[in-house]
Amino acid sequence: MTENHHLARLQLAIIQVLWDRKEATVAEVQEALKPDRDLAYTTVGTMLAKMEVNGQVDHRSEGRSNIYRPLIQQTEVSHTMVSDLAERLFQGDVSQLMCSLLDGCEVSSEELTRLKKLIRDKEKELRNG
């Protein structure tokens, strides 16, 4: 069974830095979040410590620095958050979610081709059990 990973905005921003870099110190995360988020070093450190308690990140010590790495995968978080959005906003109706996305976003012909292939692959998967 997959775990549910619901992340608040700041947690998501922090974990995205770790996904991109594979690992980072508090100072490196703080710097990567600028200029969008001008956060104190202690704020970033406290959030990383909370995320470690929640099992979302881990750290190793190197000298006086803690170097953090993600313990959760981007796909796990994406699946959890999209499923939650579909359930809360569209009562689980995936077709309504897709209609809303297609109506509200710019979609290229390449993206539409990819979406069609994903749908065909899912249909095959369902037919084959």
Q: pLDDT band at 6, cuts 50/70/90?
A: confident
What average pLDDT score do residues 8-13 get? 95
- Cα distances from 95 to residues 39, 91, 109, in angstroms, run 39, 11, 19
Structure confidence by residue, pLDDT tens digits, 61-73: 999 999 999 999 9
pLDDT of residue 119: 93
Q: pLDDT band at 1, cuts 50/70/90?
A: very low
| CATH number of this structure's domain 1-92 | 1.10.10.10
Give the range among 15-19, 48-52, 92-96 with minimum mean pLDDT: 92-96
Q: Where are the alpha helices (DSSP H) in 22-108?
A: 26-33, 41-53, 74-90, 94-104
Structure confidence by residue, pLDDT tens digits, 75-90: 999 999 999 999 999 9
Domain ranges of the chain: 1-92, 94-129
